[in-house]
A and B are shown apart, each in its own frame.
Chain A
Amino acid sequence: MNVMQLKASDFESDQEVRWCPGCGDYAILKVVKTVLADIGHSPDDVVFVAGIGCAARFPYYLSTYGFHTIHGRSAAVATGVKLANPDLDVWVVGGDGDFLSIGGNHTLHALRRNVDLNLLLFNNAIYGLTKGQYSPTSPVGTRSPSTPGGSVEQPVNAVSFALGAGAKFVARGADTLQTHLPTVLKRAHDYKGASFVEILQNCIVYHDGAFGAINDRSESQNVTVRLEHGQPMLFGKENDKGLVFNEQTGTFDVDELTNLKSEDDVAIHDETNIDRAFALAQMEQPGHPVPLGVLYAEPAAEFVDARGFTGTKGAWDRDALKALL
């Protein structure tokens, strides 16, 4: 595919954006346009496939090709797009209901199949479009129209789910972190295979503040750890805290740097280590900083594109058909 000189505005569609004012989806849209311009593929070679939900309206707001499909099935539709034309740059967008509830099965299989798709899960821990019912990522106790006494179900951790499904690229970002998110999306795009990015997204109407300080730009550094391959996992406004790997439990402990013998005790992020990725994925607030960035990227994983499926040696002609019969 050709790389061109493009601007974010080249990816703007002529459609009026209809999200609620203040919705985190606007911030993500802005980042995606910048990233697409940076990648430099013509909008004609890029496809956005989405299911149903607020997040899933995404394709209408870009100038690329777009297919707004049905609730939960976007990953399956996108797989078909890729089967037909492996050269397209295919992105899949959906909410937590779309990807993890009705479409959980398709997300699982798209990830383990490792078709070259970029899957963006906009997690707002609520069903936005249907007016605020709790979702599979809502924390226990979420009060919603369908759980007036507070939800009782254990939520699913999206990145753990993805790793468990066998995803080869798993990352996390947040809507408001406008310098961090683009780097994550760019990495996701460049990864050959199914890349999964959870984007923590604030639904200002039905679940405002669901992620606490994480996507509050001034506080975020205290409650998140920015993962960088080969770098020590330090966090806090002053970088004064670190993650220490506990060999006994196989999990990460948090410690103040002042308590440590040396800075070398702070664990170095190795995005190619699946066990560490699982340990990172388990880290939640309170108690642990929430990891942002690339949790896992399997090096040189074999990805599947249409050419890997059977019968891909090109269309037949009459002579080939006669020979077959």
Chain B
Amino acid sequence: MAELSVASGAADTVRKPPLVVRFAGDSGDGIQLAGLEFAKSTADAKSDFMTFPDYPAEIRAPAGTLFGVSAYQIQFDSDEVLTPGDEADVLVAFNPAALKTNLHTLKPGGVLIVDETHFDARGLKKAKVEANPLEDGSLDGYQLITAGVVKRTIEALAPLELGRKQATRAKNFWVLGLVYWLFGRPLDTTEDWLKTKFRKTPEVANANILALKAGHAYAETVELSAVRDFAEPRIAKHKNKSRIISGTQAMAYGIAAVSALGKRDIVYCSYPITPASILLHALARFEAGIRTFQAEDEIAAVSAALGASYAGSLGITASSGPGLSLKTEAIGLGVSVELPLIIIDVQRGGPSTGMPTKPEQSDLSMAIHGRHGEAPLPVLAPATPDECFWIMLEAARTAIGAMTPVIVLSDAYLANAASDWELPDIDAIPDIDWPEYKPNGAEFQPFARDPNTLARPWVAPGTPGHAHRIGGIEKSSGTGHISYDPDNHEEMTRLRAEKIDRLTARWPEVKIEDGPEDGDLLVIGWGSTYGAIAQAVKELNADGKRVTHVHLRHLNPLPRGLSELLDRFLQAVTVELNTGQLCSILRSEFLKPVECISQVNGQPFHVSKLRDEFTKRLEAPGA
């Protein structure tokens, strides 16, 4: 079994995978880049992994400040990895601010690599640190490696005569070289990448490669003793090719798949907002199948998307909380005129601007209920970065099949977290059927319904002989003419609701992820909490407990079988990054007791916290 032991004069600790590495520094230090390269090398080492970038909200905060710290965490193992890990085995801190804000993430006795360059009076002051932690003994519980990163990087690059400032930029690769050595990783993936990336500026590629090698060589000469055979090949889980993919990239591919499998162009309309903009960026690079449109605001974005659906494309729009608020009126119009439309909400901490880069699941109530009038619509949520691909197919089939807007709830964690992705077998995915209206001889009725799905026909402008008018005023059932008739409004309100309710018949029954069919504790999760819940439940059940995990991808309407499942457990609890929104919904829907394990600190759940919470409930039911 692969193990890592690091000795730096302190205890001779032996570390077993899963292992967690965290890089932290100024947002200008190239932390994300170093992290991503480490992830790629992890994939090459055939380990499973999950990563999570933890960005500051500020673009380039003043160097050395606490609010400018950017971090990147990765957990890897030869077994399946479900989360980026609770605590780090290795922490790299590029300055006092990074150390101060990240030290709590390091395990007791963990390896701490510090660049002491900025631990001078000025650097300490910027980080609001009184005593120098490198000198006051506060780091005694860790295996400290003070590597003089900047100094050694400059020394290593001296032959290139770049000047201090230029040379210093390569320090992230120097550290990466050192970390690679710790894990016995080869340097070639990163070297190759640098060569391609800086094809046009080979001097930059050279400088970084030189730094990478120098960091590696330094580790070797000072004999940071480490086990070199960590890179034990994992049992090949993937049949297909795999690649590193973030939730955002998976979602972009999912949208591409909708276009490819539906053989129609997609019109994607959006207004920039963190953390949803990166989806616009990803889609704008595709050369076919998707028309991207940066609108003047979110209202225009959703309106244009709806206009596109009206004209026969599938309109998709994405935003985050504040943008979803702006879109509500037009989404209501979509419900009223019964057109397909997909609204992606990459949730972040709220209310208002809140915490733009931090995940939260606090838009669930709004997604389900946040429109005036009775305006029900389906709400879906992917559980993992990988599922961000599949959820787009499900959303498209739902939107087109039921002629309805669909909201997809992602979050800042899913958007940025990355893992090894098994490429889907495209040939095995069924086509997306774009409904073709077939005239049946009778007069065309834009609001006549399919008897099974209750969907109305979708007839786009340009279709000969079918010109008709639609709008947000109540429509007469069937003809679609303006109607203020009381009975008609009642009928239409109920039909619109029934149409959404009937989706459950097409959707899968609630599925147990892990654990027994009945037992002591039912844990109900949704969205990005999947990994942490799955890991905690796995560990407890391995310990002989009886905990069952279900994870909802369909939040409105709720899947079949959930009510019955609740009856088979002594206790039920939701796990949510909000103050209990799903919990309230389940209580009011089923009139059954459900509790909530809630967290709203802008961070994903730690596995250890969930394990403790579940254990507490198992030991003292109802506590």
Residues of A participating in the B interface, judged by any CB pair closer than 8 Å: 13, 15, 42-47, 49, 52, 59-60, 63-70, 73, 76-85, 87-88, 105-106, 108-109, 306, 309-318, 320-322, 324-325
Are B465 and A44 touching (Cβ within 8 A)? Answer: yes
- In the assembled complex, 16 residue pairs joining A and B whose CB atoms fall closer than 8 Å, in A order, are A15-B481, A60-B482, A66-B467, A69-B306, A69-B330, A76-B307, A77-B304, A80-B304, A83-B308, A106-B296, A309-B292, A311-B283, A311-B286, A314-B289, A315-B263, A324-B253
Against A, the Cβ 8 Å flags (1 = close, 0 = not) of B280-309 are 000110111111110111011101111111
**Of all chain A residues, which has the CB nearest B299?**
A73
Sort A-B residue pairs by CB-CB distance and give the 7 closest, nearest first: A80-B307, A68-B471, A80-B304, A76-B303, A84-B311, A66-B469, A84-B313
B544 adjacent to chain A (CB < 8 Å): no
Are B296 and A44 touching (Cβ within 8 A)? Answer: no
In-complex Cβ contact of A79 among B264, B304, B460 (8 A): B304
Separation of A49 and B481 alpha carbons in the complex (Å): 16
Are A81 and B259 touching (Cβ within 8 A)? Answer: no
In-complex Cβ contact of A314 among B288, B330, B462, B482 (8 A): B288
Are B297 and A105 touching (Cβ within 8 A)? Answer: yes
Shortest Cβ gap from B302 to chain A (Å): 8
Shortest Cβ gap from B465 to chain A (Å): 7
Shortest Cβ gap from A249 to chain B (Å): 35
Shortest Cβ gap from A227 to chain B (Å): 31
Kindly list 11 other residue pairs between chains A and B, CB separation below 8 angstroms, not including A84-B267, A314-B288.
A66-B470, A67-B310, A77-B303, A78-B307, A79-B300, A80-B267, A80-B305, A83-B269, A83-B311, A85-B462, A318-B426
Which chain A residues border B257 with CB–CB below 8 Å?
321
Are B311 and A81 touching (Cβ within 8 A)? Answer: yes
Which chain A residues border B423 with CB–CB below 8 Å?
325
Number of A-B residue pairs at CB separation under 8 A? 208
Separation of A73 and B332 alpha carbons in the complex (Å): 13
Which chain A residues border B463 with CB–CB below 8 Å?
44
Separation of A108 and B315 alpha carbons in the complex (Å): 23
Are B461 and A65 touching (Cβ within 8 A)? Answer: yes
Interface size class of B (residues with CB under 8 A): 35 or more
Known contacts A70-B330, A105-B297: does B307 contact A84 (CB below 8 Å)? Answer: yes
Separation of A105 and B330 alpha carbons in the complex (Å): 16
Known contacts A80-B315, A106-B300, A315-B265: does B284 contact A310 (CB below 8 Å)? Answer: yes
Are A87 and B467 touching (Cβ within 8 A)? Answer: no
B256 adjacent to chain A (CB < 8 Å): yes
Shortest Cβ gap from A208 to chain B (Å): 27
In-complex Cβ contact of B426 among A43, A52, A63, A322 (8 A): A322
Separation of A315 and B290 alpha carbons in the complex (Å): 7
B7 adjacent to chain A (CB < 8 Å): no
Known contacts A49-B307, A88-B461: does B471 contact A321 (CB below 8 Å)? Answer: no
Are A76 and B460 touching (Cβ within 8 A)? Answer: no
Which chain B residues border A80 with CB–CB below 8 Å?
267, 269, 293, 303-311, 315
**Of all chain A residues, which has the CB nearest B459?**
A65
Known contacts A65-B469, A70-B333, A321-B256: does B306 contact A311 (CB below 8 Å)? Answer: no
B359 adjacent to chain A (CB < 8 Å): no
Which chain B residues border A313 with CB–CB below 8 Å?
287-289
Which chain A residues border B329 with CB–CB below 8 Å?
70
B148 adjacent to chain A (CB < 8 Å): no
Are A315 and B304 touching (Cβ within 8 A)? Answer: no
